[in-house]
Amino acid sequence: DQQVKQNSPSLSVQEGRISILNCDYTNSMFDYFLWYKKYPAEGPTFLISISSIKDKNEDGRFTVFLNKSAKHLSLHIVPSQPGDSAVYFCAVRRRDDKIIFGKGTRLHILP
């Protein structure tokens, strides 16, 4: 049973516009929500996190929003740049510290 769902396998966005990646989770017993980014032939790299007690966290062009009532997490990238083309994994940290990843969304930034 998937606890973390990224329903869009891929997303294409024009350079300079906003990219919005979405993620749904099924359990309320998570204390941290994470986004990782992965380029081909490399391991995932941590992008941004948000605590379960917050609803927004911003870091430069990246903002993560948490809607606990809807069990929904989103990552906004604005403005989108060519180097943002990658696979983005949503992940949650359980209270026993295990991290559960979604299947990823491939983001294509179009010139």
Partner 1 sequence: DSGVTQTPKHLITATGQRVTLRCSPRSGDLSVYWYQQSLDQGLQFLIQYYNGEERAKGNILERFSAQQFPDLHSELNLSSLELGDSALYFCASSVVSRASGSSYNEQFFGPGTRLTVL
Tell me, what DSSP letter sits at residue 18?
A: -
Tokens of 107: 């983001």
**Residue numbers at the binding site for partner 1 (CB under 8 A):** 4, 6, 32, 34, 36, 41-46, 49, 51, 53, 89, 91, 93, 96-104
Through-space distance between the first and last CA atoms of the chain, rounded to whole angstroms: 38
Nearer to partner 1, 28 or 97 (CB): 97
Beta carbon of residue 49, minimum distance to partner 1 (angstroms, whole number): 5
Q: Which amino acid is at 47?
A: L
**Nearest residue (CB) to partner 1, 60 versus 97:** 97
